[in-house]
């Protein structure tokens, strides 16, 4: 039986803003969900849907084994890493590039244009390890299936824009373009950005070894979720969220968090040939070199 829960916002917006980039602990929530639940705010808006043991562990393990080469040490996760600041060059001067703390994270699938890369493309992992990427697709398809089942209204909108996007930049037969893969990463309080705003966020994990904590928390509603192997969480990631730290981890502990989404502007991507022409024009000013 799925428990239906209504929660009040217990921290106002101005106070919540002060939580940005801070790290949460177990004092950050009043209730920890460990069984199936749907949670709504007092206006009836869905905040999250949590389901226990709904993804076969071997399928989550397949996702990890397939996508683990995407994981690198990166300073590109900004607020979620606990900091966002201008890079300091070796000579002590300040660069215009904004970076965060180093964390272990990767990107699977496809990326749209951004301020640094002006063309749509496969992620570096997907380009280099395409067979690994395709081997992990059954896992992505399972999350897509659950998204359609549990959040149909949001799924329909996201699938519609995915289906209208150039097929070279969408994970086949899903509403997703991209998977973020985080390893042993305590995310600081943040709101997701750059994803399709009318969709609904998700999180599933693969765990090895032993540890406590690492709870997913919506601090303004003071509710947490204990994500174990096989669990699936659909959640409004445009609310402030983060996870608590790792407690008593074994030497071999592993927590891989998967987040699957549609990048907001991917619908603007053109055929790969046209994207290549953009690169040539940008780098040389000529198309036929």
CATH code of residue 66: 3.60.130.30
pLDDT for the residue 54: 98
Give the Cα separation of 267 and 262 in Å (integer): 10
Residue 55 lies in a domain: yes
pLDDT for the residue 116: 80
pLDDT tens-place string over residues 11-59: 998 899 999 999 999 999 999 999 999 999 999 999 999 999 999 999 9
pLDDT tens-place string over residues 163-194: 999 999 999 999 999 999 999 999 999 999 99
Residue 65 lies in a domain: yes
Classify residue 32 by burial, with Cβ atoms within 10 Å: 0-12, 13-18, 19+: middle
Q: Rounded to two decimals, what is the model's pTM?
A: 0.93
pLDDT for the residue 91: 67
Both structure tokens of 76: 């590109």
Residue 126 lies in a domain: yes
Residue ranges in the chain modelled with pLDDT below 70: 85-97, 284-289
pLDDT for the residue 95: 59
Residue 169 lies in a domain: yes
Strand partners, 41: 7
pLDDT for the residue 98: 72
Domain with 271, as residue range(s), is 3-284
Residue 32 lies in a domain: yes
Residue 77 lies in a domain: yes
Residue 120 lies in a domain: yes
The tally of domains found in the chain comes to 1
């Amino acid at each position: 039986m799925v428990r239906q829960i209504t929660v009040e916002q217990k921290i106002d917006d101005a106070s919540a803003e002060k939580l940005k980039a801070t790290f949460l602990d177990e004092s950050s929530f009043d209730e920890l969900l460990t069984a199936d639940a749907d949670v709504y705010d007092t206006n009836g808006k869905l905040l999250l849907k949590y389901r226990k043991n709904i993804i076969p562990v071997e399928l989550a393990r397949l996702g990890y084994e397939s996508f683990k080469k995407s994981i690198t040490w990166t300073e590109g996760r900004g607020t979620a890493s606990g900091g966002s600041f201008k890079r300091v060059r070796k000579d002590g001067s300040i660069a215009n590039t904004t970076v965060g703390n180093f964390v272990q994270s990767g990107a699977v699938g496809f990326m749209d244009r951004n301020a640094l890369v002006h063309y749509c493309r496969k992620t570096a992992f997907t380009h280099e390890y395409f067979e690994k990427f395709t081997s992990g697709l059954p896992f992505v398809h399972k999350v897509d299936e659950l998204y359609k089942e549990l959040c149909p209204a949001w799924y329909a909108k996201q699938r519609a824009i995915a289906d209208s996007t150039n097929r070279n930049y969408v994970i086949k037969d899903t509403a997703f373009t991209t998977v973020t893969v985080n390893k042993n990463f305590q995310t600081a309080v943040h709101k997701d950005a750059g994803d399709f705003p009318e969709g609904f966020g998700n999180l599933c994990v693969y765990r090895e070894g032993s540890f406590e904590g690492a709870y997913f928390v919506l601090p303004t509603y003071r509710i947490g979720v204990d994500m174990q192997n096989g669990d699936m969480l659909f959640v409004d990631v445009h609310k402030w969220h983060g996870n608590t730290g790792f407690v008593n981890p074994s030497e071999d502990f592993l927590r891989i968090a998967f987040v699957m989404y549609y990048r907001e502007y991917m619908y603007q991507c053109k055929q790969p040939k046209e994207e290549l022409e953009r690169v040539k024009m940008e780098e040389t000013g000529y198309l036929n070199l």
